[in-house]
Amino acid sequence: MTFSQSIIFSSKLIAAGLATISLSGSGAGIGIVFGSLIIGVAYNPAQAAALFRYAILGFALSEAIALFGLMMAFLMLFAFLLKSKKK
């Protein structure tokens, strides 16, 4: 492997690692969603069912961002790295 190929290879590994940053943001978002659910139910217990539906929607959207980031990281690792190794 030449020097320029190793630079490209290491850059792809760094990019895949940076793509996983969305996982930490998603974890914080999910914590905020369910923390807000607990506060909302404590203030108004009669609206618990409606608030829970909104919390599940917020959870799903936050989790989708994490899955997209993880998909991009795997795409960078397994699709682009295999191309560079074959050369």
Task: Return d(Cα 53, Cα 58) in angstroms, integer.
Answer: 9
* Cα–Cα dist 41/50, whole Å: 10
Distance CA 50, CA 55 (A): 9
Count of domains forming the chain = 1
pLDDT value at position 76?
A: 84
pLDDT digit string (tens) for 13-54?
898 888 888 888 899 999 999 999 999 999 999 999 999 999
Q: What is the CATH number of the domain that holds 13?
A: 1.20.20.10
Contact (CB, 8 A) for 34 and 59: yes
Residues 6+ apart with CB under 8 A from 66: 22, 23, 25, 26, 27
pLDDT for res 85 = 59
Provide the domain limits for residue 34: 3-86
